[in-house]
């Protein structure tokens, strides 16, 4: 029996000043959320990576006692730095009862062009996993860059960079500090050093 189609649970987060659009694959099931926002799984290290890079504190956005992330601080941070968030799939089927990209069937890819039109200052799209990278490269007809690197593409007169970052999932076999070092290079290249 085929699993049911899941629609994306969040609206795209698109600050007016967005310079970078982060695109994961699709949120995990709600039972794995510690907040209603992107990278909500408490054991996903995305927000710890941001804390390390911008505040030299991996726990900057972590409420350890409650085992959740500090959503108001995350929203404020994303607005201040111009970080937009969504995913490369708007609808999926989960082929297994987990959050693994391997078992996600993309039913409806996101219209990334429509997102980019809403954030005209954006000059970099960042994928945070293999499935997200494959989906985006197919949409823009570009080759996937190596992890930690970027490829260039054009979108409606804009020179853009597509960065492929290591997954922030703990299933991805790279220590937190090394992941942060790879992400730090992205921000240095974009002139957004902490």
Q: How far apart are CA 51 and CA 48, in angstroms?
A: 5
3-state secondary structure of 104: strand
Give the angle 50-139-162 at the CA atoms, nearest 5°: 35
* Structural element, H or E, at residue 130: helix 130-140
Q: How far apart are CA 104 and CA 93, in angstroms?
A: 6
pLDDT tens, residue by residue, 39-88: 999 999 999 999 999 999 999 999 999 999 999 999 999 999 999 999 98
Q: Which two tokens stand for residue 104?
A: 């996600």
Please say whether the beta carbons of 194 and 54 come within 8 A: yes
pLDDT tens, residue by residue, 170-184: 888 889 999 999 999
Q: Which two tokens stand for residue 139?
A: 């949409």
The predicted structure's pLDDT at residue 99:
58
Give the angle 9-45-54 at the CA atoms, nearest 5°: 105
pLDDT tens, residue by residue, 79-135: 999 999 999 889 988 887 765 667 778 889 899 999 999 999 999 999 987 778 888
Q: How far apart are CA 50 and CA 70, in angstroms?
A: 13
Q: Which CATH architecture has domain 5-189?
A: 3-Layer(aba) Sandwich (3.40)
pTM: 0.91
Provide the b/e sequence for 152-189 (b: ≥16 CB within 10 Å).
ebeeeeeebbbbbbbbbbeeeebeeeebbebbbebbee
Give 29-76 as a DSSP string: -GGGBSSSSSS-BTT--HHHHHHHHHHS-TTTTEETTTTEE-HHHHHH
pLDDT at 8 over 70: yes
């Amino acid at each position: 029996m085929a699993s049911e189609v899941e629609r994306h649970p969040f609206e795209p987060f698109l600050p007016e000043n967005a310079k970078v659009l982060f695109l994961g694959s699709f949120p995990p099931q709600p039972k794995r959320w510690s907040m209603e926002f992107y990278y909500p799984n408490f054991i996903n290290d995305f927000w710890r990576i941001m804390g390390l890079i911008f505040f030299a504190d991996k726990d900057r956005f972590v409420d350890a006692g409650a085992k959740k992330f500090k959503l108001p601080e995350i929203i404020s941070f994303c607005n201040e730095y111009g970080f937009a968030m969504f995913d490369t799939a708007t609808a999926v089927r989960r082929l297994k009862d987990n959050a693994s990209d391997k078992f996600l069937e993309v039913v409806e890819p996101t219209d990334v062009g429509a997102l980019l039109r809403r954030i005209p200052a954006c000059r970099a799209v960042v994928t945070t996993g293999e499935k997200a990278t494959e989906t985006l490269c197919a949409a823009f007809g570009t080759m996937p860059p190596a992890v930690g690197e970027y490829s260039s593409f054009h979108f409606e007169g804009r020179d853009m960079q597509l960065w492929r970052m290591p997954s922030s999932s703990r299933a991805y076999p790279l220590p937190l500090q090394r992941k942060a070092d790879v992400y730090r290079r992205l921000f240095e290249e974009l002139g957004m050093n902490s």
